[in-house]
Amino acid sequence: MTRPAPDFAVLSSGIRLRYRIQGPSGAPWMVLLNGLLSDLTMWAGALPGLAERFRVLTFDSRGQGLSDAPEAGPYPTALLASEAWELLGKLGIERPWLVGLSNGSAMSLELLVDHPDAFPGAVLTSALPRIDFTMGLKAKHWAASLEQGGPLMLFEAVAPYLWGDAFLEARYQVLRAYHQVVTGRDKATHGSIHQMLGILEWDIRPRLGAIRAPVLILAGGEDLLTPPWKSQETAKAIPGAHFEIVEGVGHAFPVEDPRRFTQRVIAFVESASLPPG
Protein backbone atom coordinates (compact mmCIF):
# COMPACT_ATOMS: atom_id res chain seq x y z
CA MET A 1 0.00 0.00 0.00
CA THR A 2 1.38 3.41 -0.96
CA ARG A 3 1.38 6.22 1.55
CA PRO A 4 -0.81 9.24 0.77
CA ALA A 5 1.00 12.28 -0.54
CA PRO A 6 1.75 14.80 2.22
CA ASP A 7 -0.52 17.82 2.60
CA PHE A 8 0.97 21.29 2.93
CA ALA A 9 -0.42 24.63 4.06
CA VAL A 10 1.27 27.86 2.96
CA LEU A 11 1.34 30.54 5.67
CA SER A 12 1.30 34.30 5.12
CA SER A 13 5.10 34.33 5.47
CA GLY A 14 5.40 31.86 2.60
CA ILE A 15 6.47 29.04 4.94
CA ARG A 16 4.99 25.64 4.05
CA LEU A 17 3.95 23.37 6.92
CA ARG A 18 3.25 19.69 6.39
CA TYR A 19 0.11 18.44 8.12
CA ARG A 20 -2.14 15.40 8.31
CA ILE A 21 -5.77 15.06 9.41
CA GLN A 22 -7.21 11.77 10.63
CA GLY A 23 -10.34 10.64 12.42
CA PRO A 24 -14.09 10.84 11.82
CA SER A 25 -15.57 13.94 10.26
CA GLY A 26 -17.71 15.81 12.79
CA ALA A 27 -15.80 14.54 15.82
CA PRO A 28 -14.27 17.04 18.28
CA TRP A 29 -10.96 18.42 17.08
CA MET A 30 -7.64 17.56 18.72
CA VAL A 31 -4.22 18.97 17.78
CA LEU A 32 -1.01 17.11 18.64
CA LEU A 33 2.09 19.29 18.99
CA ASN A 34 5.53 17.66 18.56
CA GLY A 35 8.53 17.93 20.81
CA LEU A 36 11.96 18.99 19.58
CA LEU A 37 14.02 16.58 17.48
CA SER A 38 10.92 14.83 16.18
CA ASP A 39 8.21 15.13 13.56
CA LEU A 40 4.55 14.17 13.32
CA THR A 41 5.49 10.48 13.19
CA MET A 42 6.22 10.62 16.93
CA TRP A 43 2.46 10.22 17.50
CA ALA A 44 2.20 6.94 15.55
CA GLY A 45 1.53 4.85 18.65
CA ALA A 46 -1.08 7.15 20.17
CA LEU A 47 -2.91 8.10 16.98
CA PRO A 48 -5.04 4.97 16.46
CA GLY A 49 -6.74 5.34 19.83
CA LEU A 50 -7.17 9.11 19.61
CA ALA A 51 -8.41 9.10 16.01
CA GLU A 52 -11.24 6.76 16.97
CA ARG A 53 -12.83 9.55 19.02
CA PHE A 54 -11.39 12.79 17.66
CA ARG A 55 -10.64 14.57 14.39
CA VAL A 56 -6.88 14.77 14.85
CA LEU A 57 -4.45 17.24 13.31
CA THR A 58 -0.74 16.44 13.36
CA PHE A 59 1.80 18.74 11.74
CA ASP A 60 5.48 19.59 11.52
CA SER A 61 6.58 22.99 12.77
CA ARG A 62 9.15 24.94 10.75
CA GLY A 63 12.40 23.03 10.77
CA GLN A 64 10.74 19.65 11.39
CA GLY A 65 9.96 16.76 9.07
CA LEU A 66 8.84 17.87 5.60
CA SER A 67 7.99 21.44 6.61
CA ASP A 68 10.16 24.30 5.42
CA ALA A 69 13.33 25.11 7.32
CA PRO A 70 14.42 28.69 6.53
CA GLU A 71 18.15 29.35 6.66
CA ALA A 72 17.63 32.32 8.97
CA GLY A 73 17.18 31.38 12.59
CA PRO A 74 16.78 30.60 15.38
CA TYR A 75 13.06 29.71 15.56
CA PRO A 76 11.64 31.03 18.86
CA THR A 77 8.93 29.00 20.57
CA ALA A 78 6.48 31.91 20.36
CA LEU A 79 6.98 32.03 16.58
CA LEU A 80 6.24 28.31 16.26
CA ALA A 81 3.08 28.81 18.32
CA SER A 82 1.92 31.73 16.18
CA GLU A 83 2.42 29.65 13.05
CA ALA A 84 0.43 26.81 14.61
CA TRP A 85 -2.39 29.30 15.26
CA GLU A 86 -2.29 30.49 11.66
CA LEU A 87 -2.38 26.87 10.48
CA LEU A 88 -5.54 26.24 12.52
CA GLY A 89 -7.19 29.22 10.88
CA LYS A 90 -6.21 28.16 7.38
CA LEU A 91 -7.63 24.68 7.97
CA GLY A 92 -10.82 25.99 9.56
CA ILE A 93 -10.19 24.17 12.85
CA GLU A 94 -12.14 25.63 15.77
CA ARG A 95 -11.95 24.83 19.49
CA PRO A 96 -9.51 21.92 19.33
CA TRP A 97 -8.12 20.16 22.35
CA LEU A 98 -4.37 20.64 22.60
CA VAL A 99 -2.06 17.72 23.34
CA GLY A 100 1.64 18.54 23.55
CA LEU A 101 4.97 17.00 24.44
CA SER A 102 7.90 19.05 25.73
CA ASN A 103 8.37 21.98 23.31
CA GLY A 104 4.92 21.10 21.94
CA SER A 105 3.66 21.71 25.48
CA ALA A 106 5.45 25.07 25.50
CA MET A 107 3.77 25.97 22.21
CA SER A 108 0.43 24.89 23.70
CA LEU A 109 0.95 27.15 26.71
CA GLU A 110 1.62 30.08 24.36
CA LEU A 111 -1.63 29.32 22.52
CA LEU A 112 -3.65 28.97 25.73
CA VAL A 113 -2.33 32.31 27.00
CA ASP A 114 -2.72 34.24 23.75
CA HIS A 115 -6.13 32.78 22.80
CA PRO A 116 -7.82 31.95 26.12
CA ASP A 117 -11.27 31.25 24.67
CA ALA A 118 -10.16 29.23 21.65
CA PHE A 119 -9.47 25.87 23.28
CA PRO A 120 -11.65 23.65 25.50
CA GLY A 121 -8.58 22.29 27.30
CA ALA A 122 -5.17 20.69 27.06
CA VAL A 123 -3.14 17.66 28.11
CA LEU A 124 0.53 18.59 28.30
CA THR A 125 3.43 16.22 28.97
CA SER A 126 6.83 17.39 30.23
CA ALA A 127 5.70 21.02 30.35
CA LEU A 128 8.33 23.42 31.63
CA PRO A 129 7.36 26.97 32.64
CA ARG A 130 10.67 28.33 31.32
CA ILE A 131 14.04 27.35 29.90
CA ASP A 132 16.29 27.62 32.91
CA PHE A 133 20.09 27.75 32.90
CA THR A 134 20.53 23.98 33.02
CA MET A 135 18.09 23.31 30.19
CA GLY A 136 19.73 26.04 28.15
CA LEU A 137 23.12 24.36 28.54
CA LYS A 138 21.64 21.07 27.29
CA ALA A 139 20.06 22.72 24.25
CA LYS A 140 23.31 24.45 23.28
CA HIS A 141 25.27 21.23 23.78
CA TRP A 142 22.83 19.30 21.61
CA ALA A 143 22.96 21.90 18.84
CA ALA A 144 26.77 21.78 18.89
CA SER A 145 26.70 17.97 18.84
CA LEU A 146 24.51 17.94 15.73
CA GLU A 147 26.56 20.63 14.00
CA GLN A 148 29.94 19.08 14.74
CA GLY A 149 29.24 15.36 14.87
CA GLY A 150 25.98 14.81 13.02
CA PRO A 151 22.79 12.97 14.01
CA LEU A 152 24.48 10.02 15.71
CA MET A 153 26.52 12.20 18.06
CA LEU A 154 23.36 14.13 18.85
CA PHE A 155 21.53 10.91 19.60
CA GLU A 156 24.15 9.79 22.10
CA ALA A 157 23.90 13.20 23.80
CA VAL A 158 20.10 13.30 24.07
CA ALA A 159 19.09 9.62 24.45
CA PRO A 160 19.70 9.29 28.21
CA TYR A 161 17.35 12.23 28.80
CA LEU A 162 14.48 11.33 26.48
CA TRP A 163 13.39 7.85 27.56
CA GLY A 164 13.21 5.69 30.66
CA ASP A 165 15.95 3.13 31.26
CA ALA A 166 14.07 -0.03 30.30
CA PHE A 167 12.51 1.50 27.18
CA LEU A 168 15.83 2.88 25.93
CA GLU A 169 17.69 -0.38 26.52
CA ALA A 170 15.05 -2.47 24.76
CA ARG A 171 14.69 -0.19 21.72
CA TYR A 172 18.08 1.47 21.47
CA GLN A 173 18.83 0.57 17.83
CA VAL A 174 15.34 1.45 16.57
CA LEU A 175 15.38 4.79 18.36
CA ARG A 176 18.87 5.52 17.06
CA ALA A 177 17.82 4.91 13.46
CA TYR A 178 14.66 7.00 13.84
CA HIS A 179 16.60 9.89 15.35
CA GLN A 180 19.08 9.80 12.51
CA VAL A 181 16.29 10.21 9.97
CA VAL A 182 14.47 12.98 11.85
CA THR A 183 17.51 15.10 12.65
CA GLY A 184 19.36 15.12 9.39
CA ARG A 185 20.72 11.97 7.79
CA ASP A 186 19.08 12.85 4.49
CA LYS A 187 18.59 16.59 4.92
CA ALA A 188 20.26 19.75 6.15
CA THR A 189 20.60 20.00 9.92
CA HIS A 190 20.04 23.73 10.32
CA GLY A 191 16.29 23.38 10.96
CA SER A 192 16.85 21.19 14.02
CA ILE A 193 19.62 23.49 15.26
CA HIS A 194 17.42 26.58 14.86
CA GLN A 195 14.64 24.85 16.83
CA MET A 196 16.99 23.91 19.68
CA LEU A 197 18.48 27.39 19.91
CA GLY A 198 15.03 28.93 19.58
CA ILE A 199 13.95 27.71 23.01
CA LEU A 200 16.65 29.73 24.79
CA GLU A 201 15.33 32.57 26.95
CA TRP A 202 11.72 31.25 26.74
CA ASP A 203 9.83 32.03 29.95
CA ILE A 204 6.05 32.04 30.22
CA ARG A 205 5.76 32.10 34.02
CA PRO A 206 4.38 35.66 34.31
CA ARG A 207 1.52 34.84 31.92
CA LEU A 208 0.38 31.39 33.04
CA GLY A 209 -2.28 32.86 35.33
CA ALA A 210 -4.21 34.00 32.25
CA ILE A 211 -5.04 30.42 31.23
CA ARG A 212 -8.70 29.60 31.83
CA ALA A 213 -9.15 26.24 30.10
CA PRO A 214 -8.87 22.92 31.97
CA VAL A 215 -5.30 21.66 31.83
CA LEU A 216 -3.71 18.35 32.81
CA ILE A 217 0.08 18.33 33.26
CA LEU A 218 1.69 14.87 33.04
CA ALA A 219 5.26 14.17 34.16
CA GLY A 220 7.23 10.97 33.69
CA GLY A 221 8.57 9.58 36.94
CA GLU A 222 11.88 8.76 35.19
CA ASP A 223 12.12 12.05 33.28
CA LEU A 224 15.67 13.37 33.63
CA LEU A 225 15.23 16.19 31.11
CA THR A 226 12.17 17.88 32.63
CA PRO A 227 11.93 16.33 36.09
CA PRO A 228 8.47 16.22 37.68
CA TRP A 229 9.11 19.10 40.06
CA LYS A 230 9.64 21.44 37.10
CA SER A 231 6.37 20.38 35.46
CA GLN A 232 4.64 20.76 38.81
CA GLU A 233 5.82 24.38 38.89
CA THR A 234 3.90 24.90 35.64
CA ALA A 235 0.76 23.28 37.03
CA LYS A 236 0.84 25.37 40.21
CA ALA A 237 0.86 28.59 38.15
CA ILE A 238 -2.20 27.64 36.07
CA PRO A 239 -5.53 28.18 37.85
CA GLY A 240 -7.24 24.83 38.49
CA ALA A 241 -4.64 22.75 36.63
CA HIS A 242 -4.26 19.05 37.42
CA PHE A 243 -0.85 17.44 37.86
CA GLU A 244 0.09 13.77 37.73
CA ILE A 245 3.34 11.83 37.87
CA VAL A 246 3.34 8.79 35.58
CA GLU A 247 5.60 6.10 36.99
CA GLY A 248 7.71 3.90 34.74
CA VAL A 249 8.23 6.35 31.86
CA GLY A 250 10.73 9.07 31.06
CA HIS A 251 10.38 12.27 29.09
CA ALA A 252 8.43 10.97 26.10
CA PHE A 253 5.32 9.35 27.62
CA PRO A 254 3.34 9.29 24.31
CA VAL A 255 6.19 7.34 22.67
CA GLU A 256 7.09 5.02 25.54
CA ASP A 257 3.59 3.89 26.51
CA PRO A 258 1.14 5.17 23.88
CA ARG A 259 -1.78 3.02 25.05
CA ARG A 260 -1.63 4.28 28.62
CA PHE A 261 -1.09 7.82 27.32
CA THR A 262 -4.12 7.63 25.06
CA GLN A 263 -6.29 6.31 27.88
CA ARG A 264 -5.22 9.18 30.14
CA VAL A 265 -5.89 11.81 27.48
CA ILE A 266 -9.37 10.46 26.72
CA ALA A 267 -10.25 10.17 30.40
CA PHE A 268 -9.28 13.78 31.06
CA VAL A 269 -11.12 15.14 28.03
CA GLU A 270 -14.26 13.24 29.03
CA SER A 271 -14.12 14.42 32.64
CA ALA A 272 -13.38 18.01 31.68
CA SER A 273 -16.25 18.01 29.21
CA LEU A 274 -18.88 17.10 31.83
CA PRO A 275 -21.28 19.86 32.88
CA PRO A 276 -20.37 21.49 36.22
CA GLY A 277 -21.85 19.61 39.18
Which pLDDT score, from 0 to 100, does residue 277 have? 53
In the predicted model, what is the mean pLDDT of residues 103-131? 97
Residue 6 binned pLDDT confidence (cut-offs 50, 70, 90): confident
Question: Across all residues in the chain, what is the average pLDDT?
Answer: 94
In the predicted model, what is the mean pLDDT of residues 19-37? 96
Contact 19, 39 (CB under 8 A): no
Instruction: Report domain extents, the chain.
Output: 7-130+203-272
DSSP string, 201-237: T-B-GGGGGG--S-EEEEEETT-SSS-HHHHHHHHHH
Q: Has residue 75 got a pLDDT over 90?
A: yes
Does the domain at 7-130+203-272 match CATH 3.40.190.10? Answer given as: no
Q: Has residue 1 got a pLDDT over 60?
A: no
